Each structure stands twice: as structure tokens, then as C-alpha cells.
Amino acid sequence: MTTPEARAADATRAPTSRGSSRVPFFLGAPSVVVAGITLLPIAYLLVRTAEAGASRVAEIVLRERTVLLIGRSVLLAALVTSLSIAIGVGLAFLATRTDLPGRRVLAGLAPLPLAIPSYVAAFAWISAVPELAGLAGSVLVLTLCCYPYVYLPVLAALRRADPGVEEVARSLGRSPSQVFREVTLRQVRPAAAAGGLLVALYTLSDFGAVSILRYDVFTRVIYTAYRSSFDRSTAAVLSLILVLLTVAISVGESRVRRRDIARVGAGVSRAVQPVRLGGLRFPLGGAAGVVLALALVFPIGSLLWWFLNGLSAGIDGVHLAESVAATAWLALLGAVACTLGAVPVGILAARHRGSFTTVVEQITYAGHALPGIVVALALVFLGVRVVPWVYQEAPLLVLAYVVLFVPTAVGAVRSSVAQSSVRGEEVARSLGATPTDVLRRVTLPLAAPGIGAGSALVLLTCMKELPATLLLRPTGTDTLATSLWTETGVGAYGAAAPYGLALVVLAVLPTIWLMRLTDRERGTPR
């Protein structure tokens, strides 16, 4: 869960290095290893597909069912994306530019659904309204989980936008609603588009929610194909098609993000005169309230209801405690591994720009576009065939976490290193420190808080991860996510609820803390 806001801020920060672009070996070598690890799953899927032979691949691709599958996935992604854009832009505008009562509370609560794992929300809904299984439920649940991907960057764009431009438009004779359409919406369009593409990416990659809601899209069918047949080429080929889709979307996303409208001139941002909603304040405020109720209150309420229901039947406290411990332990391993891998790549990206760095950095970002189920599947194949002694042991799962979440950690390292000045490192060199000394005594201590926050974010993301954990977890180990999955699968909603609640507590509280932290950092000068 890299917030799109953080990614957008990251992209606009120019590299500050002016020194030599020669890449030191002690950064270059580990970076190449990390990039190699990231490429492993795709490479293995390609090998696997090649082995299946052209005619077999053609047969799988051209099956009527495959075409139908592409249609369903694209339909789901399109519906979720357009609804998320409407809700995200609407809420961001209400929160920043109007006199809506309670808009501060709205601004604080609106991003929180991001922290509820989509499969937990899916569980909360289907356990209460079983009729939701299928397309409608998937659209509802995924939209409510994903709209913050649009809301956050649009909110940032609205806060950053120069209100002077809107005032000029008013003074040139435009009405408030014309200004909204012609000026305000234009200013947030790049942010909304980038957020929308992230939503599409997330929807195509989502495994847990669509599986629990029993809607057959790529991820669910790949999983079924893997579980039900000895011939794994179907799963491999479908995975590759899904990767093609997600890669296309993430290329689009990075293009749009780069085109963000630059602010002309450096005027000081000041408070905007809020738009008076007048009689519209009740319907609009009501609509915002309904969104928050559906996205936050209902899922948590449903979890609590099942939890209390389950209490009377008795809760397996031992298994819950074991799940918490296993979740924390595996996520900690994942966070440490991601951070260790991200440090060399992030420092290269911040300090030694050049074609080598660009290639390495882009490769490590591949994880952004890889659905968890695909990475998991590739590593299962690889594990069974090449390294059977680590198959269903912790190292292979940690490897999957690295592929999936090293981009988040690289982003954190890169931006926190770029924040400190290159001059300090040069002074250190001139005072006799070798490049590795400089890293140990200056660069890393200065970047430590940012890198720490990045690691915490990866830790949380690993805790919530479902598909890779499900396929690769050590034999006999259950995490919160897999326990919830198992109990939901057999319809034991009361037994599943404690795991869902624990996940929400684990995810939501740190998210609030992290948002406070970033707000405060931005609030202080310099």
C-alpha cells in the first residue's frame, strides 16, 4: 500500500546528485541481485509457457472461456475505476473547497478504508448479505476499498493548486459552477487519472475479495486452475495474460503521473474562499455520510456482530494467538528483507542517476504491476522444481514479499536519502571518509527515520497480504489472513470474525499514526 500521494510526491522530486554518475560496486552489485530477484517470477513463467509449446498456448489463449475471462476482468476494473473516480474526486472537493459542516472529520475519515484489506471487507459483506456474491458485490466492495487511491492524490492536488487561478476566472466573469468545470477539474485531472489507473491495477490484481464473493475473474480462475489440475501450463499462461494487462496499466499510470500540471510561479498557497453549498449541503453531506457508512461503519459493524455471535460459541484463543504470532513473525522477516534489498537501490536512485540506475530501478518497480497470486504461483513452481527443500518454508514466502513490496521500500529509501544534501556527503569525503564510511556515518543516519517509516509500511502490507501467504506459508502455519480465508471458505463466519477484527486493528491504527506523521512532517518548515 504505497499511498499514491507519496508516489506522486516522489516523482516530482528532482534528483539532486551532481557528483559522478559512476556507480560504486558496493551499491551496484546488491542492486543487480535485487533486480534479478524481482525478475525471477516472470522469467520462470516465461520458461514454463515456452515448455508448454506454441500449440498448447494457443489452445489455452483462444479458448472461449479465456476470452470471457478477459471480458469479465476488464468490466470489473472499468466499473470499479469509474465509480472510484467519481467518489474520490467528489469527496476530495467536498472536504477541501466547500463549507460542508464536518468537512474536517470527512477529510480525516475518508482515506481510512484503504487500510481495510479488501478480503476482510468482502467477508464482512457476504456474511451479512449473501446475495451480493458475483459482479455487483465485487464492484461494491472493491470500490469502497479503492476510492482512496483517487481521493488522496486529488486532495493533494486541490490543496497544492493555486487558488489565485480560480479567483482570476471568477473575476473574468465565470460563475462558480463554470469555474469548477473549467478550472478546478482541469487542475485535478492528472491526479485523478493516475489514481484511477492505480485502482484499475489493484482491481485486476485483487484475489481475496473476488474469491470470497465468488466472481470468476483472472486471479480466481488462476488459483482454481492451479488447485484442480496437474497440468500447470493453464495457470502459467493465464498468469502471463494477466501480467500483460497489469503492465500495460502501470505503464499508462507512470506516463500520466509524469504529466502532472506544474504550478506556474511560486505564490504562497492561501486559504480558498469555500464554495457555499446552500440547500445542497444536506443531500451532498448525506451522500458523503453514506459512503463512509458503507466503507467503514458497515464492515466494522458486521465484523463486531459476528465476533459477538462467535463469542457465545467459544473462540479458539490459542489458534488466534498463534496466528497473530505467525503473522507478526513472517511480516517482520518480509519487512527486514525488503528494507535490506531497498537500501542499495534507493541510494543509487537518489544519488547516482544514469542509465544503469534507471534500468535497475525500473526493474525493481516491476512488483507494482505483478499480482500477488502470479508471484506466488511462479514461486510455487520454482520451489517445487528447483529448490524443493525451501518449498513451503519461510524463505520462499519472504522472497515473494520482496518481489511484491520492495518497490514501496525503495520509494521510502530514495525519497529520504534525496532529502539530505549531497554537500554533506562531499564534506565527509573531503574530511577523509571513504564512500562506505560516508554511507555508515552520514547518509544512513540521516535517512534512518524515513527508511524506518517505509519499513513499518512494508510490515503492515505483509501482514495483510493474502494470496502469496496462502500458497507459500510454511506447512502447518496459519496467519490472520489465511485463517480468515479458511474459516470463510467453510462458512464459519463467527469463527472467522476475530481474525478479521485483528487485521483491521493491526492495519487501521498504524495507518492513522502514519498519516499523522506525514502531516506533521509536511507542516514543519524545511
Partner 1 sequence: MSTLSIRDLDVTLGDHAVLRGVDLEVPSGSITAVLGPSGCGKTTLLRSVAGFVRPESGEVRIGDVLVSGAGRHLAPERRGVALVPQEGALFPHLTVGQNVAFGLPRAERRRSPRVAEVLDLVGLAGFAARRPAELSGGQQQRVALARALAPDPSLVLLDEPFSALDAALRESVRTQVREALERSRATALVVTHDQDEALSVADSVAVLDDGRIQMHDSPQAVYRSPSGLGVARFVGQCVELPASVSGGVAVTALGPMRVEAVPPGSGLAQGVVVLRPEQLRLLPLTTGEGTAGEVVGGEYFGHDALVRVRIGGNDSPLEVQVRTLGEIPERGAVRVGVSGPGRFYPA
Residues in region 8-67 near partner 1 by CB under 8 A: 19-20
For residues 427 to 466, the per-residue mask of contacts with partner 1, x marking binding by CB under 8 A and - elsewhere, is xxxxxxxx--x---xx--xx--------------------
Question: In sequence order, which ranges of 386-475 are alpha helices (DSSP H)?
Answer: 394-419, 422-430, 435-438, 444-464, 467-472
Total residues contacting partner 1 by CB under 8 A comes to: 20
Residue with smaller CB distance to partner 1, 372 or 454 = 454
Residue with smaller CB distance to partner 1, 12 or 436 = 436
Name which position in 424, 452, 489, 491 contacts partner 1 (CB under 8 A). 424
State the nearest-atom distance from the C-beta of 416 to partner 1, in Å. 13
Element housing 498 (H / E): helix 493-523
Residue with smaller CB distance to partner 1, 32 or 444 = 444
State the nearest-atom distance from the C-beta of 360 to partner 1, in Å. 23
Q: Which stretch binds partner 1 (CB under 8 A): 141-149, 234-242, 256-264, 421-429?
A: 421-429
Residue with smaller CB distance to partner 1, 420 or 518 = 420
State the nearest-atom distance from the C-beta of 18 to partner 1, in Å. 8
Q: Is 149 exposed, middle or buried (0-12, 13-18, 19+ CB in 10 A)?
A: buried
Residue with smaller CB distance to partner 1, 312 or 355 = 355
Helix (H, G, I), strand (E, B) or coil at 98: strand
Helix (H, G, I), strand (E, B) or coil at 379: helix
Report whether 33 contacts 403 (CB < 8 A).
no
Report whether 246 contacts 371 (CB < 8 A).
yes
Torsion of CA 154, 74, 294, 369, to 10 degrees: -60
Strand partners, 98: 275
Contacts (Cβ under 8 Å, ≥6 apart) of 116 = 145, 295, 296, 299, 504, 507, 508
State the nearest-atom distance from the C-beta of 396 to partner 1, in Å. 38
Q: Is the dihedral of CA 493, 494, 495, 500 positive or negative?
A: positive
Instruction: List strand residue ranges (DSSP E) for 118-259, in order.
Output: none
d(CA 426, CA 18): 11
Q: How open is the CA angle 231-119-340, to the nearest 5 degrees?
A: 80
Residue with smaller CB distance to partner 1, 281 or 429 = 429
d(CA 203, CA 187): 26
Grid look-up 449541503 returns: 281
Strand partners, 4: none
Report residue 18 CA to chain centroid gap.
Answer: 32
d(CA 256, CA 258): 5
Q: Measuring CA to CA, how many Å separate 351 from each of 314, 355, 362, 406?
A: 56, 13, 16, 19
Element housing 485 (H / E): helix 480-489
d(CA 397, CA 128): 33
State the nearest-atom distance from the C-beta of 514 to partner 1, in Å. 22
Looking at the chain, how many residues does it have?
Answer: 526
Residue with smaller CB distance to partner 1, 338 or 451 = 451
State the nearest-atom distance from the C-beta of 90 to partner 1, in Å. 42
Report whether 469 contacts 479 (CB < 8 A).
yes
State the nearest-atom distance from the C-beta of 354 to partner 1, in Å. 13
Q: Which stretch binds partner 1 (CB under 8 A): 162-170, 220-228, 292-300, 423-431?
A: 423-431
Residue with smaller CB distance to partner 1, 24 or 510 = 24
Question: In sequence order, which ranges of 53-102 are alpha helices (DSSP H)?
Answer: 54-62, 64-97
Q: Which stretch binds partner 1 (CB under 8 A): 86-94, 223-231, 420-428, 475-483?
A: 420-428
Q: Closest Cα to residue 196, out of 278, 84, 100? A: 84
d(CA 305, CA 127): 10
State the nearest-atom distance from the C-beta of 429 to partner 1, in Å. 4
Residue with smaller CB distance to partner 1, 220 or 352 = 352
HEC per residue, 125-148: HHHHCHHHCCHHHHHHHHHHHHHH
State the nearest-atom distance from the C-beta of 154 to partner 1, in Å. 34
Helix (H, G, I), strand (E, B) or coil at 275: strand
State the nearest-atom distance from the C-beta of 443 to partner 1, in Å. 10
Strand partners, 275: 98
**Contact residues: partner 1, CB under 8 A:** 19-20, 420-421, 423-424, 426-434, 437, 441-442, 445-446
